[in-house]
Amino acid sequence: MDELPRWGQTKKILKSARLKKSPGDFIVDEISEEGGRASEEATEVAGNLCVLRKEDVEGLGAERVIKRALQTTVSTAGIKDKRAITYQFVSLGRTLAARRTWRGLALTPVGSRDRALETGQLSGNAFRVTLREVVGEIEMPSELEFPNYFGPQRVGSWRHGRAMLRRDYAELMLLVAPELETMAPKKVARKMRKTNLALSAVREYGRTGDAKSAIAAVPHRAKALWIHAYQSYLFNVGVAAVLRPGAEQHCLGLVGSQVPPEEDAVRAAMAADGITQQDFPRWCRGSPRRPVVATATNIQARRVKDDLRLSFELPPGSFATSFLREICDDLSY
């Protein structure tokens, strides 16, 4: 993301800082459509609506653990960061009588709801972030506009998505498990955590040596996220192309089977990758409109020696990492 332009609404920004030195440096608290924060739902009440506290566990991996343990469906309003402490609402396909815990996970029933949660069914997220090893000073307003880029945690696997759309399964296997270049699949599999969704692919590859069948063993939702990562990458390219005065009124669609690319820069990126709109599967329809510029609200900042402690709120789908890069010139992880 370093090459993506900033919006530049702050005159003075930090020179450098380190993010996510530990999971506790990045706390995410989901805000429901009714305005309640997930972490504040303290009363345990049997039901199918729960609060999931997750620490240093990948989102889909967490869902997989819960599904297997409880033998039920799991629905959320969005996927939360891995290297973080996160609180979010979860709806189950059955009633949970009491709190359950697994490594890095705690699931607490807080009531019931008639319908399963759907993606985007929240009013936003509240963040408490500690930046470490901070160099420089900043003038922090209570609200700040920033480019609504998808963050690296969403875009990071865009090459996986490109390989999926190209049907280049050999390349995709090496992206999924780079160690396969020098290690036998069985050894690679033994090193992987059970929550790693690519584990099934590596095991299948070890059995068959066939990359296509190995990728077929990966859960559909994980493969969908890879393609969504490529869509997000293209969206970021589009945002960078239109980021100029007046962009705060602009929206772009996410390219998919039903949504064509809107900007020349996006069409050029797809052409360079050898991807056409027809390569997107039917279920990957694309998203009609997403704002080019987002706004962080209720910003509070406090300097403690070499640390900067921040709290702020973002609208659904906006990334804290995109906001933080707007206030820090060199943000390392």
Q: What is the pLDDT along the chain (333 residues), one digit of tens a residue?
A: 667 888 777 767 899 999 999 999 999 999 999 999 999 987 899 999 999 999 999 898 899 899 999 999 999 999 899 999 999 999 999 999 999 999 999 999 999 999 999 988 999 999 999 999 999 988 889 999 999 999 998 999 999 999 999 999 999 999 988 888 888 888 888 887 765 767 888 888 888 889 999 999 888 888 999 999 999 999 999 999 998 877 778 899 999 999 999 999 999 999 999 999 999 999 999 987 899 999 999 999 999 999 999 999 999 999 999 999 999 999 998
Measure the CA–CA gap between 46 and 43, rounded to whole angstroms: 10
| pTM attached to this predicted model | 0.89
pLDDT at residue number 1: 61
Measure the CA–CA gap between 152 and 159, rounded to whole angstroms: 12
pLDDT at residue number 7: 78
pLDDT at residue number 194: 66
CB 78 within 8 Å of CB 32: no
Task: Walk me through the domains of the chain, giving residue ranges and CATH numbers.
Answer: 33-122 (3.30.70.3160), 149-291 (no CATH)
Which residue(s) pair with 49 in the sheet?
91, 111
CB 172 within 8 Å of CB 212: no
Measure the CA–CA gap between 59 and 243, rounded to whole angstroms: 31
pLDDT at residue number 280: 96
- Closest by alpha carbon to 103, among 60, 63, 59, 57? 57
- Sign, CA dihedral 11-17-23-25, equals negative
- Closest by alpha carbon to 27, among 35, 19, 36? 19
pLDDT at residue number 195: 59
Measure the CA–CA gap between 296 and 31, rounded to whole angstroms: 14
pLDDT at residue number 221: 84
State the SS3 of the chain: CCCCCCCCCCCCCEEEEECCCCHHHEEEEEECCCCCEHHHCCCCECEEEEEEEEECCCHHHHHHHHHHHHCCCEEECCCCCCCCEEEEEEEEEEEECCCEEECCEEEEEEECCCCCCCCCCCCEEEEEEEEEEEECCCCCCCCEEEECCCCHHHHCCHHHHHHHHHCCHHHHHHHHCHHHHCCCHHHHHHHCCCCCCCHHHHHHHHHHCCHHHHHHCCCHHHHHHHHHHHHHHHHHHHHHHHCCCCHHHCEEEECCCCCCCCCHHHHHHHHHHCCCHHHCCCCCCCEEEEECEEEEEEEEEEEECCEEEEEEEECCCCCHHHHHHHHEEEEEC
